[in-house]
Amino acid sequence: MKKIFLVILKTLGAIVAVVVFYLICGFLIPYIRVPEEEVSQPETVTAYILTNGVHTDLVVPVKSAQMDWSKEILFENTLSKRNDFKYLSIGWGDKGFYLDTPTWAELKVSTAFNAAFWLSESAMHCTFYDTMTEGEDCKKLTLTKEQYQELITFIRDKFDRDSNGQPILIKTDAVYGKNDAFYDAKGRYSFLNTCNTWTNDGLKAAGQKAALWTPSDIGIFLHYK
């Protein structure tokens, strides 16, 4: 009985140590900055990073010379079905969190466990906007055409696609408003690879300021004060 107790105690101690180590890394590593790349071409494309206080999105113009997102992320897949939006925010995350957890009060232990340990599927959350307003929760990016093309490739590569090459709509009533929709995505969410890690990687792909690694939105936005 004593041996069993010692094993349980050591296991709990190891779990606590891992959690503490993760929290320390999650706090300190984001301060290591990946600098914005130097460019010689004009920065003509306006994009944004957006946070709701926990989850971050990359925001792109719906239509530009390089990409018409409305041909893949269809207006008709939203409840409003409006077709005159100017911006599209795109976020990657755990499918269970997106669809089964509309508020933190409804978070289930099973959902959190599955998300943390690579046990559930992922999804893309796409929301259309009329305008973007800069503030503490929204920061403007100015990209060259080449940088924006890299960002387009980064985002498009994360969508699961059907036999026609189109993003796969998740048919659900769990949308957040009248102007958003969910799509199947590639990859597995985990405590090492979060929604904010994905956004941060997108900034790197586009040659923008970013953290070396971050699991939180704070780790991104501290470089955009």
- 177-222, pLDDT tens digit by residue? 999 999 999 999 988 899 999 999 999 999 999 999 999 999 999 9
The answer to the question of residue 5 being in a domain is no
Domain membership of residue 17 (yes or no) is: no
**Angle in degrees, 0-180, between the axes of helices 145-156 and 195-205, rounded to the nearest 10:** 150
Beta strand spans in 79-175 (E): 87-94, 122-129, 138-143, 169-170
In a domain, 220, yes or no: yes
In which domain, by residue range, is 70 found? 32-224
User: 139: Cβ–Cβ under 8 A, 6 or more apart, which residues?
Assistant: 48, 49, 221, 224
What's the pLDDT band for 108 if we cut at 50, 70, 90? Answer: low
Q: What's the pLDDT score for residue 111?
A: 54
Q: What is the residue-wise DSSP string for 157-197? A: TTB-B-TTS-B-EE--S--SSSSEEEEEBSS--BSSS-HHH
Structural domain total, the chain = 1
How does residue 123 score in pLDDT terms, banded at 50, 70 and 90? very high
Mean confidence (pLDDT) of the chain: 89
Q: What are 198's two structure tokens?
A: 């994905």
Alpha carbon distance 81, 69 (integer Å): 15
- Rounded to the nearest angstrom, the gap between the alpha carbon of residue 102 and the centroid of all alpha carbons in its chain is 16
Q: Give residue 22's pLDDT.
A: 74
Residue 108 falls within a domain, yes or no? Answer: yes
Q: Do 59 and 143 form a contact (C-beta atoms < 8 A)?
A: no
Q: What is the pLDDT of residue 7?
A: 60
Domain contains 1: no
In a domain, 45, yes or no: yes
The answer as to whether 12 is a domain residue is no
Q: Considering the domain boundaries, does residue 24 fall inside one?
A: no
Structure tokens that stand for 54 in this block? 């926990």
Residue type, 114: N
pTM of this structure: 0.90
| Residue 112: pLDDT over 60 | no
